């Protein structure tokens, strides 16, 4: 990580005292919005070229918890204690190091939840209890994701076409039908509803015969993809996290949209 993010590493050496352990996250902004694409490009860039990207698309490190100070373990302390110590430490921070904002005001949290996903591409909020300790390997917090409904074409499914298990969604980029995401498993009622309207793909469908069982890779095996004619429009619930126009997390099927045709849907950017 250090050779891909020399700007963050240098700032950490300058600004973070020895014996401090932080919990935080790397992020990158492009035109004021969080960009997972830019972060991925930095991660896969050769170290020699990574330095060239620093000025063009700078990274930031956002700290949200403090685990140790001067070598003293703070993980058994209440979150409010750790946060107070972190805020003291962060008074000397300057970009690219930042402190994540927090609020105990419910109305302010609701405003963040409603505004930030559209404004900055934030996925949602993380909710922590004031008395919680930092426990390794276990989440003592809750992530509340902001989900908006969107329309996609059904270009394929996992499982038989008459009883689909998962929808593979797509959108056109020009004349190319591109996979943009998948849903969580369908309920029996949803499966029956879709099975009644889907038709097998004609020859020349652009998608592969198999697809990884998890959208973003891993050690999982590939599963057969049942290709369907991309004529049926579905409304799904999806969060704000995207990469190159593709939804990073699984979506939830809401309903069919027989009132819409493929021509009614927006295309992916070229």
Q: Which of 2-6, 126-130, 142-146 has the lowest mean pLDDT?
A: 142-146
pTM of the model: 0.61
Task: Catalogue all structural domains in the chain, each as residue range(s) with its CATH number.
Answer: 6-145 (3.30.470.30), 148-264 (2.40.50.140)
DSSP string covering 55-74? HHS-EEEEEEEEEEETTEE-
Q: Assign 210 to helix, strand or coil.
A: strand
pLDDT tens for 212-270 read 755 444 455 688 999 999 999 999 987 655 555 567 678 889 899 988 899 999 888 76
| End-to-end Cα separation, the chain, in angstroms | 30
Q: Which two tokens stand for residue 84?
A: 């107070």
Question: Who has greater pLDDT, 190 or 221?
Answer: 190
How buried is residue 196: exposed, middle or buried, by Cβ count under 10 Å (0-12/13-18/19+)?
exposed
* pLDDT recorded at residue 217: 46
**Inter-CA distances, 24 with 61, 96, 136, Å:** 7, 13, 14
Q: Is the pLDDT of residue 195 over 90?
A: yes
pLDDT tens for 64-79 read 999 999 999 999 999 9
Estimate to the nearest angstrom the gap between the alpha carbon of 45 and the chain centroid.
Answer: 21
Q: Which of 29-43, 81-95, 104-118 has the lowest mean pLDDT?
A: 29-43
* pLDDT recorded at residue 216: 43
**Dihedral class, residue 90 (left if φ above 0, else alpha if ψ from -120 to 50, else beta):** alpha
Bridge partners (DSSP) listed for residue 246: 243
* pLDDT recorded at residue 43: 82
Q: Which two tokens stand for residue 201?
A: 């793909």
**Inter-CA distances, 81 with 84, 118, 123, Å:** 5, 32, 27
How buried is residue 37: exposed, middle or buried, by Cβ count under 10 Å (0-12/13-18/19+)?
middle
Question: Who has greater pLDDT, 31 or 191?
Answer: 191
Q: Assign 94 to helix, strand or coil.
A: coil
Contact criterion met (CB below 8 Å) for 238 and 247: yes
Mean pLDDT score of the chain, rounded to an integer? 87
């Amino acid at each position: 990580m250090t050779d891909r993010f020399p700007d963050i590493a240098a700032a950490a050496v300058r600004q973070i005292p020895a014996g401090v352990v932080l919990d935080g996250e790397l992020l990158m902004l492009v035109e004021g919005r969080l960009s997972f694409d830019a972060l991925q490009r930095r991660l896969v860039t050769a170290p020699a070229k990574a330095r060239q990207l620093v000025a063009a698309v700078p990274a930031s490190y956002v700290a949200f918890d403090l685990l140790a100070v001067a070598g003293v373990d703070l993980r058994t302390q209440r979150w409010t204690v750790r946060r107070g110590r972190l805020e003291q430490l962060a008074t000397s921070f300057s970009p690219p190091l930042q402190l994540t904002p927090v609020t105990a005001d419910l109305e302010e949290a609701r405003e963040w939840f409603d505004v930030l996903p559209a404004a900055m591409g934030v996925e949602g909020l993380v909710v922590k209890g004031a008395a919680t300790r930092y426990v390794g390997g276990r989440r003592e917090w809750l992530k509340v994701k902001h989900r908006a409904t969107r329309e996609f074409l059904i270009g394929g499914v996992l499982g038989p076409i008459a009883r689909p298990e998962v929808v593979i969604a797509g959108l056109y980029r020009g004349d190319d039908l591109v996979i943009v995401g998948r849903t969580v498993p369908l309920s029996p009622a949803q499966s029956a509803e879709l099975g009644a309207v889907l038709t097998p793909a004609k020859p020349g469908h652009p998608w592969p015969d198999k697809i990884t069982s998890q959208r973003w890779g891993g050690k999982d095996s590939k599963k057969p993809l049942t290709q369907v004619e991309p004529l049926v429009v579905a409304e799904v619930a999806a969060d704000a996290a995207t990469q190159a126009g593709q939804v990073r997390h699984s979506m939830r099927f809401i309903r069919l949209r027989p009132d819409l045709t493929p021509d009614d849907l927006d295309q992916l950017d070229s």
